[in-house]
Structure 1
């Protein structure tokens, strides 16, 4: 069994992961999905990491999973806790010292060929059932941008086995873009699943199965020592 520490993206809440949590529980795993203080103007990346460290501390079987903007917070958590695996899902992949506000220009996002979507549903939830989309929009919070221009305290990528999982139908981070960033920044070729930018809502069983497989790989490799 593993404990999955699940990190949501910008302007979101831990509820985003609730279907995946149910699927992980069916497979014998525990999970936690805290809310980040993303609507707090006084909170920056360090405070986000503090929230997660407080929630995850004491677990010896921890796998950290981060969605989208959560990729900026996850490596900070891995620097402070014993983590057996880091899995980044449709993620932002920060460079050491990079401010979140600089990510788009630094990764050449504006130069990447892609279709433009101005509607939130079309961009993030185009393959999510309407009732879940409505609930996600109701629960979502305003993402504070007050401290997003501050450099990340990350000094080097943590010495933790890392997986990148892209979504083939992601309209925010198209596959070609994310493959390039993952290779340039981590030297990793991403794994792939079908679905858009929010697979925890559109394909929870498939995502949970992939995460459970990652946990099993760690056990078989002898790196994770997961029960």
Structure 2
């Protein structure tokens, strides 16, 4: 049996994984869903501490392999927790991949995300100059009931400190890493991610159906990929 540690993206809520969690538990695995701190002074180290504390609280002696799964912005914080939780594997999902010394605030311009998003919107027949809209960019393939539940919750957003702190590691952790990427991700388009991931991690992305929030839009398909790590 494995332990899955599920780290959310920018909203910081463990709820993001609520449809994936039972799929993993049904196969007998331990699942730890992490909710990240929201106070404005919380930086990447506080996020990594929260991941470690969640594991200690839920699974003091977690069964191995310990699989650390990170969605979107979680790509900045989850690697910092690898040593703290004894992670055996990392699975990134539509994630941001940092360089040493790069802040999450700098990542957007350094990677050219805005241009990639606009180009994908144009190719998709949408307005390339449209402002970000959660329903359009994130929830376009999420069932309506799940979308309404998500958007009805308080929208705190990540602390500003997370975007300001330079990524502190000298290199990516020496832990086997997979990258799962949604084919229809409007926020981090597939070809954009292929280039970033190949350049920064030296691996290829594995393409899944769906957009930026597969844990909400295609939880069974995502869980099936994660179960390959057990």
- 1:162 paired with 2:177, answer yes
Structure 1: runs of 5+ lacking an equivalent: 216-227
Contact 1:90 1:173 in 2 (8 A): yes
Helix, strand or coil for the counterpart of 1:56? helix
Looking at structure 2, the residues matched to 7 and 171 of structure 1 have their Cα atoms a distance apart, in angstroms, of 21
Residue equivalent to 1:98: 102
Per-residue Cα deviation, 1:40-91 (whole angstroms, up to 9, x for no partner): 1110000010011112244242100000000101110113331111000010
The match for 2:62 is 59
Question: So what's the TM-score if we normalise by structure 2?
Answer: 0.89
- Tell me the equivalent position of 1:114: 120
Tell me the residue number matched to 1:202: 217
Distance 1:121 1:12, change over 3 A: farther
| Matching of residue 132 in structure 1 with residue 146 in structure 2 | yes
The question of 1:212 aligning with 2:227 is answered yes
SS, match of residue 180 in structure 2: strand
Query: How big is the shift at 1:131?
Result: 0.9
- DSSP 3-state at the match of 1:164: strand
| Residue in structure 2 matched with residue 188 of structure 1 by the alignment | 203
Q: Distance in 2 between matches of 1:146 and 1:167?
A: 28
Q: Residue in 2 aligned with 1:223?
A: none
Alignment partners' CA distance in 2, 1:4 and 1:153: 24
Q: Is the 8 A contact 1:60 1:82 kept in 2?
A: no
- The structure 1 segments of at least 4 consecutive aligned residues displaced by more than 3 Å after TM superposition are none
CA distance, structure 1, for counterparts of residue 170 and residue 85 of structure 2: 16
C-alpha separation in 2, matches of 1:138 and 1:170: 23
Please report how far the alpha carbon of residue 206 of structure 1 lies from its aligned counterpart in structure 2 after TM superposition: 0.5
- Indicate the larger mover: 204-213 or 21-30: 21-30
Query: Does the 8 Å contact 1:49/1:74 carry over to 2?
Result: yes
- Asked whether the 8 Å contact 2:92–2:180 carries over to 1, the reply is yes
How far did 1:120 drift? 1.0
1:13 aligns with 2:13: yes
Q: Which residue of 1 aligns with 2:39?
A: 40
Q: Does 2:77 correspond to 1:78?
A: no
SS, match of residue 19 in structure 1: coil
Give aligned pairs, total: 214
CA contact (8 A) 1:46 1:153 kept: no
- Cα RMSD (Å): 1.4
